[in-house]
Chains A and B, each alone.
Chain A
Amino acid sequence: MTYAFVFEIGLAALLLTIATWAIVARAAFAAIVAFMIYGLLVGIVWVRLFAVDVALTEAAIGGGLTGMLLLGAAARLREAEGSGERPGLAVRLVAGALCVLVSAALGIVVFSLPDAAPTLAPTAMANLAQSGLGNPVAAVLFVFRAFDTLLEKVVLLLALVGVWSLAPDRVWGGVPGFRVYSEPSSILVYLAQLLPPIGIMIGIYMFWTGASHPGGAFQGGTVLAAMWLLVMIARLQPVPAISQLRIRFLLVVGPVIFIVIGLLGFVFADAFLAYPAGYAKPLIVIAESTLTLSIGVTLGLLVAGPPERMTQQ
Chain B
Amino acid sequence: MTLALDIFTLVAVAAGSFFFMAGTVGLLRFPDTMTRLHALTKVDNLGLGLIVVGLFPRAEGFLGALKLLSVWIFVQLSGAIVSQLIAHVARRGGRRT
A interface, CB within 8 angstroms of B? 182, 185, 187-188, 190-191, 194-195, 198
B77–A187 touching, CB < 8 Å: no
Most buried by B among A187, A190, A195, A198: A187
Can you identify 17 A-B contacts, CB atoms within 8 angstroms?
A182-B89, A185-B84, A185-B85, A185-B88, A187-B81, A187-B84, A187-B85, A187-B88, A188-B81, A188-B85, A190-B81, A191-B77, A191-B78, A191-B81, A194-B77, A195-B77, A198-B74
Chain A nearest Cβ from B70, distance in angstroms: 9
Nearest opposing residue in chain B for A199, CB measure: B74
A179–B46 alpha-carbon span in the complex (Å): 35
Bound-state CA distance A191–B76 (Å) is 12
Told that A187-B84, A187-B88 touch, could you supply 5 new A-B pairs with CB distance under 8 A? A182-B88, A185-B84, A185-B88, A187-B85, A188-B81
B contact face: mostly helix, strand, loop, or mixed: helix
The secondary-structure label for the interface of chain A is: helix
Residue tally, chain B, CB below 8 Å to A: 8
Q: Can you list the 3 inter-chain pairs with the closest CB atoms, starting with the nearest?
A: A187-B84, A191-B81, A187-B81
Specify which chain A residues have a CB less than 8 angstroms from the CB of B77 in the assembled complex. Answer: 191, 194-195
Contacts of A198 on B, CB cut-off 8 Å?
74
Tell me, in angstroms, the Cα distance from A210 to B23 when the chains sit together.
36
CB closest chain-B residue, reference A185: B88
* CA–CA, A185 and B85, complex, Å: 8
- Chain B residues within an 8 Å CB radius of A191: 77-78, 81
When distances are taken between beta carbons in the complex, the residues of chain B under 8 Å from A195 are 77
Contacting A at CB under 8 A, from B7-54, are none
Instruction: Point out the residues of chain A lying under 8 angstroms from B89, CB to CB.
Output: 182
Complex Cα spacing A195 to B77, Å: 9
Chain B residues within 8 Å of A194, by CB: 77
Question: Within the complex, what minimum Cβ distance (angstroms) separates B37 from chain A?
Answer: 14
Which residues of A lie under 8 Å from residue B84 when comparing CB positions? Answer: 185, 187
Which residues of chain A are near B85, meaning CB under 8 Å?
Answer: 182, 185, 187-188
Bound-complex Cα distance A185 to B91 (A): 13
Chain B 53-97 per-residue mask, 1 if CB under 8 angstroms from chain A, else 0: 000000000000000000000100110010011001100000000
Cα-based distance from A154 to B84 in the complex (angstroms):
39
Q: Across the interface, which residues of B come within 8 angstroms of A185, CB to CB?
A: 84-85, 88
Q: Smallest Cβ distance from A233 to chain B, in angstroms?
A: 10
